[in-house]
Structure 1
């Protein structure tokens, strides 16, 4: 197996940073997490209401951070065979473990739909990453 390039090491470091950020966000109690997402959703609330804005921001954050994780992880593995499958499988496992961890945080709960959304985000990010790797 070839050694990792500098670029692959950078993407691996970014992946680890994203995983730490996900863990830290999941460690926030429910009321603190809601206040953070409301800060982002404030301007949306005028058009779709507070509940709709909260929902959109929270689910959009799930999809986006896992899309970034899928992108970075696939970039760190390069175009190795089956890397897309392993990256998405890892992200889904990480999402499931993170939801389990979240079930122990006051005011939070584990949601299967969040794991599914995270999996879709990671597959999207990995697919975009695969496109860039093929067109280098």
Structure 2
């Protein structure tokens, strides 16, 4: 949450330049030895920058959702109630994050971004549930192992 807050505290210019560096690297890979016409390059830059920025939002919130889900999953059976609580927590934090961005020069808080962040959290939760299912199938539940070794 601190990392997300610090990214959100960057003004519009700083935030844009961070994603711009990544997009420039992608464009250099795409262009190779054949530079694109300036108008085409600029249009592609804008589309890629949008995708990189929104992809970063989704990734941040997927990691946040995993941070909610995985540490507490051994105490919750079934895991779905915990998953929905994690999704709700991520949604509420995304709302406060977008509100915070309204006070940062060059940034805007939009509900569209809350939905993108929440989608990222949902992806994180689904990945986490997949990881937990795999671990439980492979190694069994923690309490089953504890009960087997108890005197």
Shorter chain as denominator, the TM-score bin is 0.7 to 0.9
Residue in 2 that maps onto 1:65? 60
Q: C-alpha displacement at 1:73, in angstroms?
A: 1.4
CA contact (8 A) 1:45 1:52 kept: no
Residue in 1 that maps onto 2:47? 52
Moved more, 36-45 or 102-111: 36-45
Q: Which runs of 5+ in 2 are unaligned?
A: 31-42, 136-151
CA–CA separation in structure 1 for the residues paired with 2:23 and 2:64: 23
SS at match of 1:109: coil
CA contact (8 A) 1:42 1:53 kept: no
Post-superposition Cα deviations, 1:34-65, rounded to whole Å, max 9, x if no partner, equal 00110111133465621112101100100111
SS at match of 2:10: coil
Structure 1 or 2, whichever has the larger Rg, is: 2
Q: TM-score, normalised by structure 2?
A: 0.73
CA–CA separation in structure 2 for the residues paired with 1:100 and 1:93: 11
CA–CA separation in structure 1 for the residues paired with 2:101 and 2:133: 37
Superposition pairs of residues 63-102 of structure 1, within 5 angstroms: 63-79=58-74, 80=76, 81=78, 82-102=81-101
SS at match of 1:43: helix
CA–CA separation in structure 2 for the residues paired with 1:20 and 1:124: 21
* RMSD of Structure 2 on Structure 1 (CA): 1.4
CA contact (8 A) 1:63 1:121 kept: yes
How many residue pairs end up in the alignment? Answer: 118
SS at match of 2:105: coil
Post-superposition Cα deviations, 1:85-110, rounded to whole Å, max 9, x if no partner, equal 00000000000100000000001000
